[in-house]
Amino acid sequence: MEVVIEIKNLKKSFGDIGILKGINLTVKKGENVVILGKSGSGKSVTIKCIAGLLTQDEGSLKVFGEEIKDLKEDELKALRCRIGFLFQSAALYDSMTVRDNLIFPLKRVLKIKDNALIESRCIEVLEAVGLADAIDKMPSDLSGGMRKRMGLARTLIVKPEIILYDEPTTGLDTITSKEISNLMLQIQKKYQATSVIITHDIPCSSITADRVLIIDDGVFIAEGTHEELENSQDDYIRSFFK
Ligand SMILES: Nc1ncnc2c1ncn2[C@@H]1O[C@H](COP(=O)(O)OP(=O)(O)OP(=O)(O)O)[C@@H](O)[C@H]1O
Ligand SMILES: [Mg+2]
């Protein structure tokens, strides 16, 4: 199976403070990998490095076989078009309708000008996240769960090959969290996307993960299926699942 993300001995500090102290991770095409870890352990920093938003101090980080830190600006831009990032805060444009929020990346990132194609892509993606009726609404008229779905729609509309999810279900009730998690699973199947999912939500991990890694003090300390880690012999590993 094709390797999509390959990270070797990745290190990143801010000032004197080491955050990533030697991360190793290989993600294959079509896999859903979940990263669990305490607040401040470097989860968001890790996926920001994968998206090329932060550059590591040491180590290698290849996406689609390309060493990110060696890419020229236009090459990095082209690569970023293939990566969707669902930020920790949904980051919608509040002054634009749902439709215009979706059109924006299509025009800006993909430079699509065909209005019929734009409209059909908007409808397709809203149907995929169950928000077809909200196309003319303003983001402020959406509930928290709908905003998460909307953020997901905006991430998906450019048909990314890799999706980086930063806490996709945080702040949602249990039922809506499960709906979003199931949606992520459907998206993996429908678009054959490869995903790295950061979450504190154990049911989300259980639903979406093919593989789970636990980050602690700047390194991955455990790796396995959700079930394996949840039933680990190690009390500390098990404590992440409570
Ligand atoms: N641009 C930055 N400049 C300085 N420090 C940063 C920067 N980005 C992150 N950090 C620091 O790196 C550490 C890890 O941050 P990160 O956002 O990766 O945590 P996290 O694991 O995602 O936590 P949470 O679960 O709370 O979102 C934190 O101490 C944070 O303050
Ligand atoms: Mg974070």
Quick one: pLDDT at residue 31?
96
Residue 10 has pLDDT above 70, yes or no: yes
Ligand 2: centre distance to CA 37 (Å): 9
Ligand 1: nearest atom to the Cα of 46 = 18
Is any ligand 1 atom within 6 A of the Cβ of residue 37? yes
C-alpha 2, offset from chain centre: 19
- Residue among 13, 17, 19, 204 whose CB has most ligand 1 atoms within 8 A, to mutate: 19
Quick one: pLDDT at residue 97?
94
Lowest mean pLDDT segment, chosen from 17-26, 31-40, 124-133, 198-207:
124-133
User: Could you tell me the two tokens for 209?
Assistant: 């993960």
Q: Which ligand is nearest to the CA of 87?
A: 2
Percent residues over pLDDT 90 in the chain: 68
- Residue among 11, 16, 34, 43 whose CB has most ligand 1 atoms within 8 A, to mutate: 43
Nearest CA to ligand 1 atom 27: 39
Domain ranges in the chain are 93-159
pTM (two decimals):
0.92
Mean pLDDT for 19-44 is 96
Q: Which residues contact 19 (CB under 8 A, 6 or more apart)?
A: 12, 13, 42, 45, 218
- Residue among 23, 39, 45 whose CB has most ligand 1 atoms within 8 A, to mutate: 45
Is any ligand 1 atom within 6 A of the Cβ of residue 86? no
Question: Which band of pLDDT confidence, cut at 50, 70 and 90, is reported for residue 38?
Answer: very high
> What residue type is assigned to position 198 of the chain?
I
For residues 233 and 187, which has the higher predicted lDDT (pLDDT)? 233
Quick one: pLDDT at residue 90?
65
Q: What is the pLDDT of residues 107-154, one digit of tens each?
A: 887 788 899 999 999 998 898 888 899 999 999 899 888 888 899 889
Ligand 1: nearest atom to the Cα of 88 = 27
| Residue pair 210/33 in contact by the 8 Å Cβ criterion | yes
Quick one: pLDDT at residue 148?
86
Q: Which residues contact 128 (CB under 8 A, 6 or more apart)?
A: 153, 156, 183, 186, 187, 190
Distance CA 225, CA 223 (A): 7
Q: What is the pLDDT of residues 44-82, one digit of tens each?
A: 999 999 999 999 999 999 999 999 999 999 999 899 989
Strands of the sheet with 211-216, listed across from one edge: 83-86, 162-166, 194-198, 32-37, 211-216, 219-224
For residues 149 and 164, which has the higher predicted lDDT (pLDDT)? 164
